[in-house]
C-alpha cells in the first residue's frame, strides 16, 4: 500500500517517502503523541493478508525491540490499521554502507572500526537467538554522528531458546523458520548453507559479514558473477580473489579474519560474533618485535629507600594521599641514573612497622633512608621530610613545606632535588628539567587519581574505577588515569562482576586513549599486555607488550610478574622461573613477586614444589589476595584441605567477597573436605549474585564440578566459551575438570578454544 503525505496510521502522520524494497515501503512520519520524527515501515500487502506472515512480523518486531543495542536500529512500535501493518523505528540521518562504498574501498583501519561495531550488534542479536540472514551493505547504516546501525531484520530468524543457553526475552520460537529448500537472502552475501536452502544459525551471519568486510576492504564484491545463479555457485565452490588494499597486501591478521569468516563449513568459521569482534580489535595492531632484554639499573655508591610517608591528617582515610606522595617522590628519584632507589614494594613492606630506620636500610641494602609525614587541612598542605644516613643514624637533611594543595607537584620536585643535591648525585642533562613533571594541572583530578591507585593496589577494582572515572571527568587528557582504568577493568573482568566483552572493550579503549595521549608513558605497554593476557588470547602479542614494558621500566616488578604468567600459561616453565626470579631480585619484599614465582610450578601442576615459595609470599603480606588464593589452590590439589580452606577463606576476606573466582575455589575446597552444605550455600550465593551482576559461568562451573554436577558444569563451561570468559583457554585445564576430559562436550569446547586461541603447550598433565 502506498501512503501519501498527511495520511495517518495510529498516532503517526506521514511526512514523506524514504524508500521502498521487497519487504515494504518506508516513510518519514511524525509521532504526534511524543512530538518526534520517526521512520515508519509498511508491510507489503501480500504479506499483510497472510496471517502467518503477519504473526511472524509481529513476533520478530517484539524480539528485536527487546535487543536495545546501540548498533541495532531501535523499534518503537508495531501496529495494524485498516489492513495495513506497520513498524515504527528511530529515524536515522546519514547514509548506508552501500552509498559509502560507491566511492571505493575504505581504509583498512576505518573498515575495522565499522566492522567492530557491526559485530557487536550481531553479537547482541545472536545472544537473544536472532539471526539476521540478510546482512549486506544496504542494511548497514552510517549516521552523521559516526554511529553504525544494523537495519532490516525482515528476514531475521528467531532461534529456539536452546541457542547458547541464553535468555531469549520474547524470542522463544523459531519465528523465521522457512520451508525446506527455500532460499532467503541476497545473492553475493548468503552463506553456503543459505544457498543450499538449509537451516541456518548465527554462523551464517558471520559468513555474510565476511563478504561485506571483504567489500569494505577492496571495493569489490567477494562473489560477484554475471548472474545470481553463478554468484551462488561461486559461494559454494570458489574462494574470493586475494585481499589487497590498493597496491599493497593487507596485514596478514586482516586477511586471516576475512578468510576465517568465509569458510564454507560453519564449524570452521568464527564460532561467535563476540569472538569475531575480539579478533577485529587486534587486527590492525602493528607487530612490535626485537625488544632487547632489560638490564639491571646502573649501580653507584649513592642509594636510598623512600619509606611510606605517615598520614597526620585529621581524616584517617587520607592515607591514599600520603602513599601517593611517597610514590611520586620515589618515581622522581628513580629517574636519576646515578642513584640506586629501593623498589616501592620493598619500601612499603615496612609500612606501619616500628622498625629502626638503620635496620631498614641494612635490610634493603641502601646507604640512606627518606622518611616523612603529610598533613592536609582543607587546601593547606604540610609535608615534613628528613634524610637519614644509615651508617651513623645522623640526619643528613630535613625540611618542612607549608604550601597550598595546587603546589603539590612543586613540593615533590623540590624534595627530589634537595635529596639529589645532598647525596651529590648527577641529574639528567643540565638538571633544569623538573624531576616531577605535573601530569595534570587539575589538583583535584590528581587527588582522585591517587585514590584510584590506592584502591587498585588493593585490587578493589570497582572503587578504583570510580575514582579514575571521576578524575577523567575533570581532566580528559590525564594519560596516567587511563592506564589505571585499563588495568582495573581488565582485572575486574577476570575476577567477576563485569562481562568479559565489556571489560575488554573498556580496558582496550582506556589503554588506546593513554597511548594516544602519551605514546611513551610508563604503563601503556604493561596495560596492553594485561588486556591481551585476559582477553586477546594472542600470547605472542602479550609477550611483546610485556617485554616492552620491562625494557621501559626494568626497575618495576610488574612487567616481570605478568610476563611470568604469560610464559607459565604457555608451557615455557623454565623461562617463567627465570623471569620470576628476576622480578624477585628487583623487589625482594613483594608478596606478589614471590607468589608468581610459584606459578612456574603451578602452571605445570607441580603443586608440591610450589608450596614453600607460596608460604614465603603469604608471610610477606598476609592480607594480599593473590598469594593467599594461589596457596589455597596448591593446598587443595595436594590434599591439604583444612589448610586450603583457611587460605581461600582469607583470600575471600581480603577482597571483601568481591572476587567470584576466589569464592568458587573456596567452595571447591569445602566440597572436597565433605562440607557439601557449605559449598552448596556458596553456589546459591553465586546464583543469587548472578541475578544482580555478572558472574562468570566458568567460576560457577568450578563449584558445580567440585559438587559432582558434571552435566551442569559442562553447560556452564559452554556458556563460558560463548561469553569468552577471561583466560578460559588455560583455566579449562584446572584439575577440577580432570573427570571431564573424556566427555565429548568437554573435548568440543577445548577444540573450539584451540581454534580461537592457538598456543603451544597449554595441555596440562592429567
Residues known to be catalytic: 134
Tell me, what DSSP letter sits at residue 534? I
Query: What is the number of other CB atoms lying within 10 angstroms of the CB of residue 1?
Result: 16
16 backbone dihedrals φ, ψ, rounded to 5° = -170, 155
| Alpha carbons 198 and 470: distance in angstroms, whole number | 52
Tell me, what DSSP letter sits at residue 693? S
Sign, CA dihedral 221-225-226-229, equals negative
478 closest CA partner among 441, 509, 453, 503: 441
Q: Cα separations (Å) of 294 from 107, 342, 550, 568?
A: 37, 18, 6, 20
Query: What is the number of other CB atoms lying within 10 angstroms of the CB of residue 297?
Result: 14
Strands 310-311 and 94-96: unpaired
Strand order in the sheet with 140-143: 94-96, 140-143, 148-150
The whole-angstrom distance between residue 447's C-alpha and the CA centroid of its chain comes to 26
Do residues 126 and 205 make contact, with C-beta atoms less than 8 angstroms apart?
Answer: yes
Per the listing, cell 574505577 goes with 465
37 backbone dihedrals φ, ψ, rounded to 5° = -85, 140
Neighbouring residues of 248: CB distance < 8 A, sequence distance ≥ 6:
none
| Alpha carbons 561 and 680: distance in angstroms, whole number | 34
SS (H, E, C) 376-400: EECCEEEEEEEEEECCCCCEEEEEE
For 89, the 3-state DSSP assignment is strand
For 678, the grid coordinates are 557449605
Do residues 345 and 336 make contact, with C-beta atoms less than 8 angstroms apart?
Answer: no
Helix (H) or strand (E) holding 373: strand 368-377
Do residues 115 and 69 make contact, with C-beta atoms less than 8 angstroms apart?
Answer: no
For 19, the 3-state DSSP assignment is strand
Do residues 517 and 482 make contact, with C-beta atoms less than 8 angstroms apart?
Answer: yes
Q: What angle do CA 564, 567, 568 make, to 5 degrees?
A: 80
Give the burial class of 342: count Cβ atoms within 10 A of its Cβ; 0-12 exposed, 13-18 middle, 19 or more buried: buried
Q: Where are the alpha helices (DSSP H) in 570-675?
A: 573-586, 591-602, 607-620, 625-636, 641-654, 660-672
Helix (H) or strand (E) holding 151: none
| Alpha carbons 258 and 270: distance in angstroms, whole number | 10
| Alpha carbons 132 and 155: distance in angstroms, whole number | 6
| Alpha carbons 56 and 269: distance in angstroms, whole number | 29
Do residues 552 and 558 make contact, with C-beta atoms less than 8 angstroms apart?
Answer: no
Tell me, what DSSP letter sits at residue 532? I
For the CA atoms of 236, 239, 241, 242, the dihedral, rounded to the nearest 10 degrees, stands at: 150
For 67, the grid coordinates are 535487543
- What number of residues does the chain have? 766
Amino acid at each position: 500500500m502506498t501512503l501519501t503525505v498527511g495520511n495517518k496510521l495510529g498516532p503517526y502522520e506521514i511526512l514523506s517517502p524514504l524508500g521502498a524494497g521487497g519487504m515494504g515501503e518506508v516513510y518519514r512520519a511524525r509521532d504526534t503523541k511524543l512530538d518526534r520524527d520517526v521512520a515508519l515501515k509498511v508491510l507489503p500487502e501480500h504479506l499483510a493478508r497472510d496471517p502467518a506472515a503477519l504473526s511472524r512480523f509481529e513476533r520478530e518486531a517484539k524480539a528485536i525491540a527487546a535487543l536495545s543495542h546501540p548498533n541495532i536500529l531501535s523499534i518503537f512500535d508495531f501496529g495494524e490499521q485498516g489492513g495495513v501493518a506497520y513498524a515504527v523505528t528511530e529515524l536515522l540521518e546519514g547514509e548506508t554502507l552501500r552509498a559509502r562504498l560507491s566511492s571505493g574501498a575504505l581504509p583498512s583501519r576505518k573498515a575495522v572500526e565499522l566492522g567492530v561495531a557491526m559485530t557487536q550488534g550481531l553479537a547482541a542479536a545472536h545472544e537473544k537467538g536472532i539471526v539476521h540472514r540478510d546482512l549486506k551493505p544496504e542494511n548497514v547504516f552510517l549516521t552523521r554522528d559516526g554511529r553504525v546501525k544494523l537495519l532490516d531484520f525482515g528476514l531475521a530468524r528467531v532461534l529456539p531458546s536452546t541457542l547458547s543457553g541464553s535468555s531469549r526475552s520474547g524470542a522463544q520460537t523459531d519465528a523465521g523458520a522457512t520451508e525446506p529448500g527455500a532460499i532467503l537472502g541476497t545473492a553475493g552475501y548468503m552463506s553456503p548453507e543459505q544457498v543450499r536452502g538449509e537451516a541456518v544459525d548465527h554462523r551464517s551471519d558471520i559468513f555474510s559479514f565476511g563478504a561485506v568486510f571483504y567489500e569494505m576492504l577492496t571495493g569489490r564484491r567477494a562473489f560477484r558473477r554475471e548472474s545470481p545463479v553463478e554468484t551462488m555457485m561461486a559461494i559454494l565452490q570458489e574462494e574470493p580473489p586475494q585481499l589487497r588494499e590498493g597496491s599493497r597486501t593487507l596485514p596478514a591478521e586482516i586477511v586471516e579474519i576475512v578468510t576465517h569468516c568465509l569458510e564454507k563449513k560453519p564449524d570452521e568459521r568464527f564460532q561467535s560474533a563476540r569472538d569475531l569482534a575480539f579478533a577485529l580489535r587486534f587486527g590492525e595492531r602493528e607487530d612490535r618485535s626485537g625488544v632487547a632484554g632489560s638490564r639491571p639499573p646502573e649501580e653507584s655508591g649513592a642509594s636510598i629507600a623512600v619509606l611510606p610517608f605517615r598520614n597526620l591528617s585529621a581524616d584517617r582515610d587520607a592515607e591514599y594521599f600520603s602513599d601517593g606522595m611517597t610514590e611520586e617522590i620515589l618515581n622522581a628519584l628513580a629517574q636519576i641514573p646515578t642513584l640506586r632507589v629501593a623498589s616501592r614494594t620493598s619500601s612499603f613492606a615496612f609500612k606501619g612497622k616500628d622498625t629502626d630506620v638503620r635496620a631498614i636500610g641494612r635490610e634493603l641494602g641502601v646507604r640512606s633512608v627518606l622518611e616523612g609525614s603529610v598533613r592536609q587541612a582543607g587546601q593547606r598542605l604540610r609535608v615534613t621530610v628528613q634524610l637519614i644516613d644509615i651508617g651513623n643514624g645522623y640526619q643528613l637533611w630535613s625540611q618542612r613545606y607549608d604550601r597550598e594543595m595546587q603546589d603539590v607537584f612543586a613540593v615533590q620536585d623540590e624534595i627530589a632535588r634537595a635529596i639529589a643535591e645532598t647525596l651529590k648525585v648527577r641529574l639528567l642533562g643540565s638538571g633544569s628539567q623538573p624531576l616531577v613533571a605535573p601530569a595534570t594541572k587539575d589538583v583535584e583530578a590528581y587527588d582522585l587519581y591517587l585514590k584510584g591507585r590506592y584502591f587498585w593496589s588493593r585490587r578493589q577494582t570497582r572503587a578504583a574505577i570510580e575514582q579514575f572515572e571521576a578524575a577523567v571527568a575533570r581532566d580528559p587528557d590525564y594519560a596516567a588515569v587511563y592506564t589505571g582504568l585499563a588495568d582495573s577493568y581488565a582485572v575486574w573482568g577476570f575476577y567477576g562482576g563485569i562481562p568479559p566483552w565489556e571489560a575488554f572493550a573498556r580496558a582496550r579503549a582506556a589503554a588506546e586513549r593513554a597511548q594516544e595521549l602519551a605514546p611513551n608513558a610508563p604503563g601503556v605497554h604493561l596495560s596492553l599486555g594485561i588486556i591481551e593476557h585476559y582477553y586477546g588470547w594472542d600470547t605472542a602479542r602479550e609477550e611483546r607488550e610485556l617485554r616492552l614494558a620491562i625494557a621501559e621500566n626494568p626497575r618495576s616488578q610488574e612487567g616481570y610478574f605478568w610476563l611470568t604468567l604469560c610464559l607459565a600459561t604457555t608451557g615455557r616453565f623454565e623461562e617463567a622461573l627465570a623471569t620470576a626470579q628476576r622480578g624477585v631480585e628487583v623487589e625482594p619484599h613483594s608478596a606478589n613477586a614471590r607468589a608468581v614465582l610459584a606459578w612456574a610450578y603451578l602452571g605445570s601442576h607441580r603443586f608440591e614444589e610450589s608450596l614453600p615459595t607460596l608460604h614465603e609470599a603469604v608471610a610477606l603480606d598476609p592480607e594480599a589476595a593473590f598469594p593467599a588464593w594461589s596457596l589455597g589452590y596448591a593446598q587443595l590439589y595436594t590434599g591439604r584441605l583444612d589448610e586450603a580452606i583457611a587460605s581461600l577463606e582469607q583470600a575471600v576476606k581480603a577482597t571483601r567477597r568481591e572476587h567470584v573466582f576466589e569464592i568458587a575455589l573456596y567452595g571447591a575446597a569445602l566440597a572436597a573436605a565433605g562440607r557439601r552444605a557449605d559449598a552448596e550455600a556458596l553456589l546459591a550465593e553465586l546464583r543469587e549474585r548472578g541475578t544482580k551482576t555478572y558472574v562468570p559461568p566458568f567460576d560457577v562451573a568450578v563449584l558445580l564440578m567440585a559438587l559432582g554436577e558434571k552435566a551442569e558444569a559442562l553447560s556452564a563451561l559452554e556458556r563460558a566459551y560463548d561469553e569468552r570468559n577471561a583466560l578460559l583457554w588455560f583455566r579449562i585445564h584446572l584439575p577440577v575438570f580432570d573427570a571431564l576430559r573424556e566427555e565429548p562436550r568437554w573435548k568440543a569446547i577445548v577444540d573450539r578454544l584451540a581454534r580461537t586461541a592457538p598456543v603451544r603447550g597449554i595441555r596440562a598433565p592429567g
